[in-house]
């Protein structure tokens, strides 16, 4: 094995993890945007925060894994990690959030329609 290719597997693994972390950062900001019903300015702040955070995560992983050298396989690893996390994590998380929202809404409606709560809070 060539000396230049010895650590490429670990660099790829680091960058896949960095891509997955960037995807989780995106999911967190997207959930925050939906939760707060973001307007123009909050969306702008969230987009800037995502860009800065993604760049920091990517550069930090590059410096940690490959001494800051940008190579095609490291970029491909980050993209693969983002794609894997986006396709595997986001749909079940959205489904779970939707189920949780429906459960809390049902609890709220049950409490709201109870005659004792109507008597107490009128």
What is the rounded CA–CA span in Å between residue 16 and residue 80?
A: 6
pLDDT for residue 17 is more than 80: yes
Q: Which two tokens stand for residue 60?
A: 């930090």
What is the rounded CA–CA span in Å between residue 87 and residue 81?
A: 10
- Angstrom distances, CA of residue 50 to CA of 22, 25, 27, 53, 105: 8, 7, 10, 5, 31
Q: What is the DSSP letter of 70?
A: -
pLDDT for residue 60 is more than 70: yes
The pTM assigned to this predicted structure is 0.71
- 71-109 pLDDT, tens digit per residue, is 888 999 999 999 988 888 777 777 877 788 888 888 888
Q: Which residue has the tokens 């990517």?
A: 58
Q: Are 81 and 15 in contact (CB under 8 A)?
A: yes
What is the rounded CA–CA span in Å between residue 33 and residue 44?
A: 10
Q: Which two tokens stand for residue 50?
A: 């995502």
């Amino acid at each position: 094995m060539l000396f230049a290719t010895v650590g490429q597997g670990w660099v790829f693994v680091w960058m896949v993890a960095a891509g997955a972390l960037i995807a989780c950062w995106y999911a967190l900001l997207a959930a925050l945007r939906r939760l707060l019903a973001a307007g123009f300015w909050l969306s702008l702040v969230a987009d800037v925060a995502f860009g800065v955070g993604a760049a920091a995560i990517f550069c930090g992983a590059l410096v940690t894994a490959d001494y800051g050298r940008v190579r095609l396989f490291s970029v491909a690893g980050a993209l693969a990690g983002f794609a894997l996390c986006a396709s595997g994590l986001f749909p079940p998380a959205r489904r779970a959030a939707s189920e949780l929202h429906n459960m809390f809404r049902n609890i709220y409606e049950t409490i709201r329609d109870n005659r004792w709560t109507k008597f107490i809070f009128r």
